[in-house]
Amino acid sequence: MILAHPDMNKSIANKRIAEGVKSKLENIEVRDIFKLYPDYKIDIAAEQKALMNADNVIFQYPFWWYNMPAILKAWFDEVFNFNFAYGPEGDKLKGKNFLLSFTIGGPADAYTPIGYNHFRVEDLVKPMEQTAYLAQMNFQRPIFEHGMVFIPGVYNTQEAVEERADRHTQRIIYCIEALENLNPEEQIKEFVHEWFAHFDVLADDGYFNNFIANGAKLNFPEGEYEGHDGFSAWYAQIKQRIKPDCKHTIKTLSIAQDKDFYKVNVNVQMQAEKYNGEAVLANVLEEWKVEITRDGRIKIHKYLVKEI
Ligand SMILES: Cc1cc2nc3c(=O)[nH]c(=O)nc-3n(C[C@H](O)[C@H](O)[C@H](O)COP(=O)(O)O)c2cc1C
C-alpha cells in the first residue's frame, strides 16, 4: 500500500483504513510516503524495489481537489520512470494489479452531471486509469467512499465517518482476497459486496447494467422487469423516492454452482430515508442466477427480490 496523506495527525478516514487493512491482510507492506519523504525527496530505487516485490499495489489517499495529494503525484512522476514503467524496457510492473482506494469528502449525488461537482468520480480518475494501462498493470475498479469528512457541528459525525471507513476497509480486503484467490465463489462474493456498496450511494444505473445480461429476468417487490431498460425503469422510480446514502447490510450470503451458472442467495437488510422524510427498513431475500463469462466477467441472468 502506497499511503499518501500529508496531514496524518488530522486524518480520521485514511488512518483508520490503513491501520485496518494492515491488521487484516498478511504480507502487506504499508509505505507512508509523506512520513518517509516529508521533504518530497523520494528514494526512487527503494520505491521501485518495493513495487517489484508486490503483486497488488493499493494507492490509499484522500481525494484533494478532485485528485491525489501532491506527494503522490510527485511519487508517480519520479517512480514510474522511463524503462521502468514505460519505454522499450519498461515492463517492470507488467501484470501487477493497480487499485485506487480513496476517501471523498463530498456526497455521491454531487458527483453526477447534474450535481455541483459535475463529473463522475470514475471520470476524474481517468488519467490514473491510463497510467496503469501504459505501465501494463491491471487497473481495478477503484474503491472509494463518500461523505468521509467530519466537520464538528456542520457535517457528519465522527462515528459515521469511522463506520464508512470500516466498510471501505472491508471492500479492500474482499478485493485483494478475490485477486489472490480467483475462484468463482470468491469473485462472486466480492462482487455482491461491491454491488450493494453501489446501491448504498445509489450509483448510476450504468454501473448495474454492466452486470445485467440482455433480457435478464428481474423480479422486484415493485413488479417484474426485463433487461437493461427494465432495470433502469425500476431504478429510476427508486431514485425518485429514496435518498442516496442508504445502508445495505449483508446478513447471509451463499453461492452454489448449478451447471454453467451460480445460484446466489443473499439476505440483505436495507436502511434508508425517503425524500418525504419517512424511514425505510426492509429485510429482503434475493436469489440471483449468475454466469461468469469466458473472459471472467459477471452477468446476472435472473434477479429475484422478495421482502420478508
Ligand atoms: C486540501 C483539501 C482538498 C480537498 N478536496 C476535496 C475535493 O476535491 N472533493 C471532495 O469531495 N472532498 C475534498 N476534500 C475533503 C477530503 O476528501 C476529506 O477531508 C478526506 O477524504 C478525509 O480523509 P482523512 O480523514 O483521512 O483526512 C478536500 C480536503 C482537503 C484538506
Asked if the structure places residue 196 within a domain, the reply is no
Do the beta carbons of residue 266 and residue 192 sit within 8 Å? yes
Range(s) of the domain holding residue 175: 2-181
183 lines ligand 1 (CB under 6 A): no
Total number of domains constituting the chain: 2
Provide the pairing of β-strand 143-145 with 97-103: parallel
The string of pLDDT tens digits covering residues 253-283 is: 999 999 999 999 999 999 999 999 999 999 9
Asked if the structure places residue 39 within a domain, the reply is yes
Q: List, in order, residues 6 or more apart from 228 with CB less than 8 Å away.
A: 209, 212, 214
Pinpoint the alpha helices (H) of 80-157: 121-124, 126-134
Q: Which three cell numbers stand for residue 11?
A: 486524518
For residue 133, give the amino acid letter: Y
The string of pLDDT tens digits covering residues 204-244 is: 898 899 899 999 999 999 999 999 999 999 999 999 999 98
Specify whether 174 is located in the same domain as 243. Answer: no
Task: Give the Cα separation of 184 and 29 in Å (integer).
Answer: 27
- Ligand 1 centre to CA of 57 (Å) is 22
Q: Which of 65, 125, 158 has most ligand 1 atoms within 8 Å of CB, for mutation?
A: 65
Asked if the structure places residue 53 within a domain, the reply is yes
Closest C-alpha among 23, 37, 104 to residue 73: 37
Specify whether 140 is located in the same domain as 236. Answer: no
Q: Which residues pair with 267 in a beta bridge?
A: 252, 285
Specify whether 274 is located in the same domain as 177. Answer: no
The string of pLDDT tens digits covering residues 82-132 is: 999 999 999 999 999 999 999 999 999 999 999 999 999 999 999 999 999
